[in-house]
Amino acid sequence: MLKSVADILLALQKYEQKELEEQSISHGPTIGAMYEGLSRSILGEMVPDTLNLKLVQGFASGPGESLSRQIDCMLVHGEGRRIPYTESFVWPVRNVLAAFEVKKTLYASELRTSHDTLASVLTQFEASAADGVNDQSAAIRFAELMGRVPTPDVADQATLTYFAHSYHAPLRIVFAYDGYSTEGGLRDGFMKYFREFIWPQRPIFIPYQFPNLIVCGENTIVRYNGHPYLRPANERGVWPLLATSAANPLHFIIETLWYRFATDFAWPYPFDAHLSQGRTTPLLTARFFTADDGLLGVRYGEVKTSSDELSRKELGWEPMRLTREQWLLLRVVQIQGVIESDDARLKTWCKVNRIKLTQAKQTLTNERLIVEAEGKLTCFREKLYSTVVNGRLLTSLEQDRWRLDALAGKLQSATTEARIRTTKLLRELERGVESWHEVSGEAQKEGNIGLGRIRISF
């Protein structure tokens, strides 16, 4: 559904944009107003009527009626104050879901002004949250990023704060219709802007100060923050912060907004069943570190890439392919919630089921499905979905379950051999779970392993 909506809106945007370009108007403010009006029209189509949200222009207010710069478009809820004799509003920043800076053309100078304008919204948010922000999901995002639990270290705590701010702060999106014409041009232009204006501020410039999205024509810069986009850090703790894509930019805006609707309002997210997804290529990496004097620092790094890497707009979606041993260990950790790595029951169970604990544990950690801390294994994923297709286990996260179903239907074989393999694996999984309850002496909890086009839910 999401991809279909994005494609329809992109076609509409191009049609309306062409009409604007045909207008014989040279007055700058009027041209700006036309594009701001088109943007509000397109954005309005992305917002469900049931949420009672509004798109307004004006200012975000913080404590003591301090104001942001003037914002072209804000997605808001609750109540604001209309500025007399204007179409603009003053809206409490805590009730601002997203702020949009609209540009007809985007180059380095517009990047700077757009960033500064949207940063003024973040300034109001930070002032209104002077006592800090707390987000339980930040620890989950940290585990997804690092493959471990956070420590009291200053760098780890800064990473937690990054995720918490990303969750609570208003989304900040630059929406430009023209400018850098290629993805490579956008990458080069942004890095020039970064080196000239951001890099000199690096001791105080924190990663969450970047906008969530920068749309420039048909290309986009995406900030990875776990809401919803994230890529794991490497073994040195360096993680992709910004990435670029030539896929439909409205897809990224819709997905980012809908994810916020789902988390803030428990809105039923319409998951996508398409087996392709927009390709994103890392542009800028980041790593918090603790300096010798105990203070916090941030290291940024540019990611070079080739034109071949940027040639594809979309990539095929792939599920996780777990072995029987890995899936069973994951299931046991989920059943227990937390379990000691050297638990005698676990060792006995692994021996009965021919599971090499160290290897299975390492794979699940690398896949960011479990974490190990102080000798304890924990599964931090609330919901995982698995399907057995032709005797093979395919697993996905909750947001990809419709894709998993679509892929299973595409791969499913009706041959006798495939059915035999599937039935055999199902029996092994059933026996493995049952044997844990026998070894642990605990009653079996709810769960099911079906037959046919199998959905294993837990």
Quickly count: other Cβ atoms within 10 Å of residue 269's Cβ: 17
What number is the average pLDDT over the span 31-56? 85
CA 132 to the chain's CA centroid: 22
Query: What does the block give as tokens for 228?
Result: 């919803």
Question: What is the structure's pLDDT at 403?
Answer: 87
Peptide bond into 152 cis (omega under 30): no
Cα–Cα distance measured from residue 32 to residue 451, given in angstroms and rounded to the nearest whole number: 59
SS3 at position 455: strand
pLDDT band at 5 (very low <50, low <70, confident <90, very high): low
What number is the average pLDDT over the span 46-63? 92
In this predicted structure, the answer to whether residue 134 has a pLDDT above a threshold of 80 is: no
Exposure string over 39-76, b if 16+ CB within 10 A, otherwise e: bbebbeebbeeeeebbbbbbbbbbeeeebbbebbbbbb
Query: What does the block give as tokens for 105?
Result: 């053309």
The residue extents of the domains of the chain are 2-316, 324-457
Find the farthest-apart pair of alpha carbons in the chain and give their distance in angstroms, rounded.
80
Q: Which has the minimum average pLDDT: 42-51, 247-256, 271-280?
A: 271-280
In this predicted structure, the answer to whether residue 448 has a pLDDT above a threshold of 50 is: no
Cα–Cα distance measured from residue 119 to residue 116, given in angstroms and rounded to the nearest whole number: 5
Q: Are 42 and 184 in contact (CB under 8 A)?
A: no
Cα–Cα distance measured from residue 357 to residue 351, given in angstroms and rounded to the nearest whole number: 9
Cα–Cα distance measured from residue 154 to residue 295, given in angstroms and rounded to the nearest whole number: 8
Mean pLDDT taken over the chain: 86
Radius of gyration for the alpha carbons in the chain, expressed in angstroms and rounded:
24
Query: What does the block give as tokens for 267?
Result: 């809105």
pTM, to two decimals: 0.88
pLDDT, one tens digit per residue, over 330-386 is 999 988 889 999 999 999 999 999 999 999 999 999 999 999 988 999 988 767 888
Question: What is the structure's pLDDT at 450?
Answer: 34
pLDDT, one tens digit per residue, over 9-36 is 667 677 567 766 667 666 667 767 777 7
pLDDT, one tens digit per residue, over 224-235 is 999 889 999 999
Spatial CA neighbour of 244 closest among 262, 220, 225, 263? 220
- Quickly list DSSP for 295-352: -EEEEEEE----TTTTS-SEEE---B---HHHHHHHHHHHHHSEEETT-HHHHHHHHH
